Amino acid sequence: MDWHKVVSKLFIIMIIVSAIGLFVLADDEPLQKVETDVDIVTKKAKTGLSEKKTKSASKSLAFPRFTRPDSFWRKKLTQGQYYVARKKGTEPAFSGAYWSHHDDGVYTCVCCGSPLFDSEAKFDSGTGWPSYWQVVDKSLIKLHPDITGGVIRKEVNCRICGAHMGHVFDDGPRPTGLRFCINSASIKFVPRKKMPEYLEKWREEIGLPALEKAVNGAISN
């Protein structure tokens, strides 16, 4: 019996089983911690998202999909943004615009503009990438298993447009213990004082007004 082939097959089976398990947990485990351990209501008030969203719409999948052809993204994004956000690339550590950025505001999806990370949840992880211990709202992101390179990770994507953000790890600070390791190329910063006006334009852009009843008034007026 060729033991090398047997071991190789067993290793492949273990990877597949682990990936399946990760897929089952990917959307729930880290985001459950965010919801239960953090005062989300306070964050919602500061970013412009309503308290009502916390209780109802975060469980809803009724958000519209902001789908566009590849040619649209190539024209809209820079080469670096396109590579990271649409092709799941990774920018070099300590090279992005936001890894050492400390202004007050919200980091939005570079593709569709969804508000994803609050500056008050940002911390210095020492990794060279922007890091956050929570998301603005879990209904705006989706996690996927990532087994590229033989390493099992949880990929973070914008739920609205599918843009690749980075990965989430379980080695972050309190209160969540999470580290959302995000590429600067995937996000765009909006100052806090500009958020009300920004959110109105964002709602129009992705078509939320027409679906307000369906999403239970997810975004505040």
DSSP class of residue 184? G
Spatial distance between the Cα atoms of 10 and 21, rounded to a whole number of angstroms: 16
Choosing from 109, 112, 158, 181, the catalytic residue is 181
Sheet of strand 122-123: strand arrangement:
122-123, 131-132, 179-182, 164-169, 153-158, 141-146
Count CA atoms closer than 13 A to 62's CA, side-chain side: 18
Is residue 112 flagged as an active site residue?
Answer: no
Helix (H, G, I), strand (E, B) or coil at 145: strand
The residues assigned a catalytic role are 181
